[in-house]
Amino acid sequence: MRKNVTETILFLCFLSFISIRIQAQNLGKGLPPHTEYQELTAPGTIDKAEWEKQPDGLCFAWGSTDVRYDKVNVPQNILHDRTLKLSSWKGEKLNAQCLLWSKQTHEKISLKFCNLKDNRGNSIPAECLSAGFVRYVMTDELNKERTSGCGHRPDKTQWDSLLVADPIDITPFFALNPQNVCPVWVSIRVPRDIPTGTYNGKIVILDNEKETGSLRIQVKVGKNTLPPPSEWRFHLDLWQNPYSVARYYNTEEWTDEHFEAMRPIMKALAEAGQKVITASITHKPWNGQTYDYFKSMITWIRKYDGSWEFRFDVFDAWVEFMISLGIDRQINCYSMVPWNFTFQYFDQKSNQMQTIHTEPGEKEYTEIWTALLKSFAKHLKEKGWFEKTCIAMDERPMEVMQKTIELIRSVDKNFKVALAGLYYEEIEPYIFDYCVSTDQLFPFRAIERRKAEKKVTTYYTYCGDTRPNTFTFSAPADAAWIGFYAARLHMDGYLRWAYNSWVENPLQDSRFVTWAGGDTYLVYPGFRSSIRFERLIEGIQQNEKITLLRNHYLKENNKKKLAELEKKLQMFDLEELKKGAKAEDAVRTMTEYLNK
């Protein structure tokens, strides 16, 4: 009887056991998204004289995807040609940005797309075009020395703040206030089976459902084809936070409602070519560095006799859900070495939650992790996931990593290990998935050897990087630059520590008490994409083109073209970027070269 009561309390103590009712492949249509919200007031002044010069009615023009346009001032850097000319490979997703502005109120603006046609009767269907009204979110700045985005910033009034264009909304209609600007993000998905050629069409702008004008688009489609995102070789690893979604949508964790809220968010990640499932196997592996901290997806139980039991219900449900969406290449499990070396478990003897502090090399640490790793390995093998699972750590010292790797290999030498942090030559051969920060030099020969060994080598950006970065105030082209830089380094891909670790009110205010604005998330509830996320995908696509061309030139033994490609990539120079070089110049030049 005592045991039954304990088990009941155990289930109540762990939210991870609340209503695990899902089968990943049988979920419904999802929660209704938050379709309307109010932006914060823009700081600064309005140039009223410039507004008075504008004609009556709704104004519109093509803009640049390299610019975050001001909300309350007449837009600059617009294209005066009403036809936007783009080039692409087959299968590529193109970005464009147009602008709407007016000195009057317009209560219901919408857009309509037409087929893009060539002169032979072929077309890019209108369904391949989409658009979202760009909204504005509050952001801040780097530190006062302009050397980093890290550092505690609890008092927002001490930092310069501004309203910036970033969230891409999901509403089909938009109400434009007087003396306001509304950017519109346009996406064009070029079909893979379309004939090479030049395609022309237009976007029709509707004001209160009446046509008020149009903007023309021309897309020149080349002969080369990009594979679908699921086949991209670029190793994208953006860490997911399911707990942030549960809090924002006010759902119990791991219920049907929770999974439904996550579906569009994680589906968009899969469509970006994501390869890795982020799983937390300890409580607060990063010591609660986000607004919503991570909990253990494995239930730790210390039994009456002092032995350990581990349950994997939540872990299984989460992994099955992500695999069902197409994110199925790798599972990274954090972390055997959490930042505070504290581990939480349910103790049957005391009938309550307990914590224990122990570090690699200590007897208790070895006993606990030997038990967990043995149980975990057995479970993973039964599920068929062992070969794709990594025991993952981040930013840990070499001495700690050496002890941890030794313990892992003593339990099962075939366990894969992942590390994001500094480069250590001594442990590199034992790391399957090795990710280094931008200030680390990973030897080229080691990268090439690791490719031959089918290991993964990537790099990451974090709050300490002034550029490139994906803060909400970062230059949009910085996000695209990231993919090109990986190509220059011959690395397999890129890691970012926060895909959706939302702050308290992510749609209105991207600032956080510890990091620069936007550092903790790339996308918004809804699912709403962002300028940053769309430009990041753009850079990944260009990286994929480079990989395909490299392989083609190697196969054909075309040393001249290969050397030309490598020389072009030298323009992606990290030090020059940090000194003030414009990311958009290199991105534009290289994109034009690849599309030729």
Q: Which helix (H) or strand (E) holds 271?
A: helix 256-271
Mean pLDDT of 278-298: 95
| pLDDT above 90 for 464 | yes
pTM of structure: 0.94
Q: Does the pLDDT of residue 499 top 60, yes or no? A: yes
Chain centroid to CA 18: 28
DSSP state of 556: T
Task: Specify the pLDDT at position 33.
Answer: 53
pLDDT for 22? 35
What integer is the mean pLDDT of 500-517?
Answer: 96
Give φ, ψ of 309 to 5 degrees: -130, 140
CA distances for 409 relative to 414, 420, 538, angstroms: 7, 19, 39
Q: Give strand pairing partners of 165.
A: 136
pLDDT surpassing 60 at residue 25: no
Question: From the DSSP assignment, how many helices (H) and strands (E) are in the chain?
Answer: 13, 25
Supply the pLDDT for residue 95.
Answer: 98
Range 173-182 average pLDDT: 96
Q: What is the pLDDT of residue 540?
A: 98
The answer to whether residue 322 scores a pLDDT higher than 80 is yes
CA distance 36 to 19: 30
pLDDT digits (tens, 9 = 90+) for 531-540: 999 999 999 9
Residue range 474-492, pLDDT digits in tens: 999 999 999 999 999 999 9
210-225 vs 352-357, strand pairing mode: unpaired
Do 231 and 491 contact (CB within 8 A), yes or no? no
Pull the structure tokens for residue 531: 């300028």
- Cα–Cα distances (Å) from 515 to 290, 332, 531, in that order, read 10, 24, 20
> What pLDDT sits at residue 11?
40
pLDDT above 70 covers a percentage of the chain that reads: 94
Whether residue 13 is predicted with pLDDT greater than 60 in this model: the reply is no
The percent of residues above 90 in pLDDT, for the chain, comes to 89
Distances (CA, A) of 302 to 8, 299, 456: 15, 10, 36
* Residue 99 in tokens: 């602008």
pLDDT at 112 over 70: yes
| Domains in the chain, CATH or no CATH each | 1-30+233-396 (no CATH), 39-224+438-484+504-596 (2.60.40.1510)
Alpha-helical regions (H) of 279-397 = 313-324, 363-383
pLDDT at 34: 58
CA distance 529 to 408: 39
pLDDT number for residue 12: 36
User: Using one digit for the tens of pLDDT, what is the confidence trace for 417-459?
Assistant: 999 999 999 999 999 999 999 999 999 999 999 999 999 999 9
- d(C-alpha 440, C-alpha 549), whole Å: 27
Instruction: Report the pLDDT value the prediction gives residue 165, as an integer from 0 to 100.
Output: 98
User: For the segment 65-103, what is each residue's pLDDT rounded down to a tens digit?
Assistant: 999 999 999 999 999 999 999 999 999 999 999 999 999
Q: Which two tokens stand for residue 373?
A: 């790793």
pLDDT above 70 for 29: no
What band does 326 get if pLDDT is binned at 50, 70 and 90?
very high
Report residue 44's pLDDT band, with 50, 70 and 90 as the boundaries: confident
End-to-end CA distance of the chain: 75
Q: Summarize pLDDT for 359-405 with one digit per residue, the tens.
A: 999 999 999 999 999 999 999 999 999 999 999 999 999 999 999 99
Read off the DSSP letter of residue 299.
E
CA–CA dist 233, 221 (Å, integer) = 22
Q: What residues does 521 pair with on adjacent strands?
A: 500
Which string of DSSP letters, residue by residue, matches 416-441? EEEEEE---TTTGGG-SEEEEETT--
H/E element, 549: helix 531-555
- Return the higher-pLDDT residue of 444 and 36: 444
DSSP 3-state of 199: strand
Mean pLDDT, rounded, for 225-247: 98
Distance (Å) of CA 486 to CA 38, 92, 480, 574: 38, 19, 11, 11
Residue 543 banded pLDDT, cuts 50, 70, 90: very high
Distance CA 544, CA 547 (A): 5
The whole-number pLDDT of residue 154 equals: 81
Residue 43 pLDDT? 84
Lowest mean pLDDT among 32-36, 231-235, 256-260, 261-265: 32-36
Tokens 């209105």 belong to which residue? 508
Buried b (16+ CB within 10 A) or exposed e, 366-391: bebbebbbebbbebbeeeebbebbbb
